[in-house]
Amino acid sequence: MTTSTTVAFHFNAPSKLAYACKLARKLQRMDIALVVLGEPAMVAQLDEALWSFGGETQFLAHCQGDADPQVLQRSPTVLLSALGPALPHSQVLLNLGAQMPSDIARFERVIEVVSADDEQDREQARSRWRAYAALGYAIERRDLVMKTED
């Protein structure tokens, strides 16, 4: 299978939450829309973290997936617990969940974040890797330990 969706695994994140905030900030600076998918508890924590990430002056604009359509369209970052049919953005999907998302072909890029020290998360990531590979996706690997600070 050949697909235009790029899949990347970012390994060894000390904190998936902090990494998601940094990625949201980086993509907003580049004017790239981001959809973040995760378990409801993780989405709630990320929602809270984005309000104060980097201090009071660095609020990162975002909304929940159930916001009004006009808000969804204008928001550079959308937080979801499940992918729905009416998403306004299709550039980057950041998966913080345990399962491989369905319908990823509508996104240009999918990023999977893997914890540095949570063995259950690492095992779930291995399963997602195998699932992507079985569908024919070429997978990029990025080791965050080897990366310098953004």
Provide the CATH number for the domain around residue 12. Answer: 3.40.50.10110
Q: pLDDT at position 1, please?
A: 47
Distance CA 14, CA 3 (A): 31
The order of strands in the sheet holding 63-64 is 63-64, 77-80, 34-37, 92-95, 109-115, 6-13, 139-143
Residue 19 lies in a domain: yes
Residue 148 lies in a domain: no
Domain count, the chain: 1
Q: What residues make up the domain containing 84?
A: 6-103+110-143
Residue 50 lies in a domain: yes
Which residue pairs from 41-48 have beta carbons closer than 8 angstroms and sit at least 24 positions apart in sequence? Answer: 42/16, 42/17, 42/96, 42/97, 43/79, 43/80, 43/81, 45/17, 46/17, 46/20, 46/21, 46/79, 46/96, 47/79
Residue 59 lies in a domain: yes
Whole-prediction pTM value? 0.91
pLDDT tens digits along 37-78: 999 999 999 999 998 876 666 678 899 988 898 998 999 999
